[in-house]
Every structure is written in structure tokens, then in C-alpha cells.
Amino acid sequence: MIRFLNNFADDINLSIHNTMTARTLHYITFILVLTLLGSCRQNNSSADTSRWNLRAYTPTYASHFTIDSCADASSVIITVNNPWQGAGEISEQLFVCRNGEKAPEGFKGQVLQKPPRRVVAMSSTHIAMLEAIGADSTLAGAAGTAYINSERVRNRLDSISDIGYEGNVNYERLAALDPDLVLLYGINGASSMIPRLQQLGVPYLYVGDYLEESPLGKAEWMVAVAEAMGCRARGDSAFAPIPKRYKEIAAKAAAASTRPKVMLNAPYADAWMLPPEGSYAVQLISDAGGEYAGPHNNTTSSVPVGSEEAYMLLDSSDKWINVGSAATLGELRRLYPRLADTPPLANSEVYNNTLRYTSGGGNDYYESGVVHPDIILRDLVKILHPELVNEEFVYYRRLPEK
């Protein structure tokens, strides 16, 4: 660059035929050098956030994250929008540094300086995502290791530290792990872990898969996790075939001649909580070729239904799924004797998502099921239209009599 500027000065010197002294030309050269070097420094330090306006990844199904980049940088910013229920217009960001690039001036989010080699996961769904993208070997700590279903991860539990659950985290144990990144979540507010993680200088990423109502949207979060782990290509490759398989299964179910009516969940105390029509569970039922038996509810929240209304809904249903902890039809009849003569119980058409359980009580439906919505859908099609599916159940099972 300096050689170019010297040549530039010589050209000017020739063109003005000695009307300017050499000392003046060298001064101009010096100013130009400083200006260009300053410009280069500005580019390398990513001077402000306004330059990070190139969308590196726009989710097709998920609605709570985006990934942005900059024209002259390889780093990215992962933005998590409304990272917990009722968050309003709150956003959390993680700057993923690459090639020695620095976060933009004024950036107030988390900064991940290097590809994570030691990760702590606060949810079993995070573990499923790490496994799906081939990054589960980085798992150094988790919340509730007894609940982990993944056989590959369970085979090395002796090297994975159980740090406890949010609200009762063993921070000394967490600090001893020296993690590069913590994957966490918020329920009705920011995670209570944040102040301590900030004190420890440990960056974190909110993973908001549970906020997504779209089954494919939940699974698409593996792309955001892969970006943070420095293996976006693997995330893209792992996710890409899932929507295709899901839509193929849904298309078969849509062509079925009937749409069985489905009741969800089970009574708790004096109420039966039923999800809204746009919820994850109801979308799966609809895509599986079924009709939701619940009341009209186009909000975003489940509603409690009294015992009389619930009885009428179940009495008009063909199938009953996700029945809590009940393991047999006999147990359901003992718990809810009034429901014994409803069609699902009378015809043994009751199914629960409890086929894959650990001895510690972990349900794989809520772990690997999040990254395999196509398999969950296939199970539901087998329940509603058994003639369309030859494969065995993976997550669901039909409740036996005893």
C-alpha cells in the first residue's frame, strides 16, 4: 500500500511539473497512509453494529432467532428475539468471533471468543441438538444427568458433571468446568443464572426452542446452536432433510379418508388444561390427519376446562393421547372412574408418549423428539391412520389393559 502511495505521489509530481515541493508531496502521502490505515483498523475492529446488517440465516420455521453478518468479516451475531414467555421486545445477542475479529464498538451482548470446546447444557433438548450436529463430545456439564436419554452421551456420563438445576445450580462445580459456553433458557423471565455467569465471565446463549409452536421451528434451532459451535454447515445438513420427511408424512395423512377426533392431556386436580389451536401439540395432530377435540381457543395460552366439559369432549373423541403418568388403562379407570365408558377408554384407543424413558425418569420425547418432529409425526399417523405406517412406534405406545 505504501509503495502504491509513493508511486501515486511521483505521478502527481510529474503532472504538476514541480509546482509543488517534494516535502509537500511526502506530507500528503503521510496523511493518505494514516487515513487508509485508519480505515483498515476500523474494518478489522468492526467499529459499529450498524454494519452487521447482512442476514446470514433467516429461519424458515423458527421465529425467535436470526443470524447476521458483516460484508468484510467472517464473525456473526446470533440474535434471540423474545427469549422467554412474555419478554415483549427484548433481544439477547451472542457475537461469535472468527479470525481474530473483535465485537463491534458498543456491542452489549455476549462475546464468544473461540469455538466452544467445553459446553454446559441446561436442557436435555440442547443435548439432542448437540448430538444432531455431531458436537455432543463438547458436553462437559448438564442439568440433571440422570434424565439424559442419549445413549452416546450416557456412555460417557463419568466425564459430564451434573451442575444441578436453575435455581439450585452448583456454581463452584460449574466454574471448575471452565466452560466456553452455557446453553440456557428462560421461562417467565431472564434466567437466574445470568448474574453469576457474568461474574464468572462465561458467555451464554439463550436457546428458545420451547417457545416455538411449529414442530419444524423447534428443530430448526439446531442451526443456531451449530452456528455458535462453529459448525453451521453441519447444522444445515442435519436440519435440511427433516422438513422434507415431515411434509411427505403429512401429505399421506392429509389424503386419508377420515380425520379421527383426538383428546389431549389428562385431568389435574379439578381442571383439565387444554392447549390452544395454534399450539405445537395441536399442529402435530392436524398434520397427522386428526381433528383436535379441545374447545375453540385462538390465544397463545392453554385454558382450564371443567370436569363436565372435559367429559363431553372425551366422549366425542376417537383417540386420547398424552395422558400424563398413567401407564395402563386400568390405572386410568381407577384415577378417573367417570371416564371409563368414553370411546377411547372403552375401545383401548389411549396412547402415551412414554415409550423411551430412562431409569431416572427422563422422557426422550422431550429430548430427541424435539429434533425429530418427523418421527413424532409418523408415530401420530400410526395412531390415527395405522394403515399408512409400517414402522414401529419410537416415542408413543398404546396403553395396555394392565
* pLDDT tens digits, one per residue of 269-292: 878 999 999 999 999 999 999 999
Angle at 60 between CA 57 and CA 65, to 5 degrees: 55
Name residue 45's amino acid: S
C-alpha cell at 38: 485508519
Q: What is the mean pLDDT of the chain?
A: 89
Q: Which of 112, 35, 98, 108 is nearest to 70 (CA)?
A: 98
C-alpha cell at 370: 424435539
Q: Contact 56/211 with Cβ under 8 angstroms?
A: no
Higher local confidence (pLDDT), 22 or 188 = 188
Q: Check pLDDT > 70 for residue 225.
A: yes
Q: What is the pTM of this model?
A: 0.87
Could you give the CA distance from residue 226 to residue 81 in angstroms, rounded to a whole number?
18
The SS3 call for residue 41 is: helix
Q: Contact 229/182 with Cβ under 8 angstroms?
A: no
Give Cβ neighbours of residue 264 (< 8 Å, ≥ 6 apart).
274, 275, 281, 282, 285, 292, 293, 294, 320, 321, 322
Q: Contact 96/230 with Cβ under 8 angstroms?
A: yes
With bands split at pLDDT 50, 70 and 90, how would you rate the model's confidence at 43?
Answer: very low
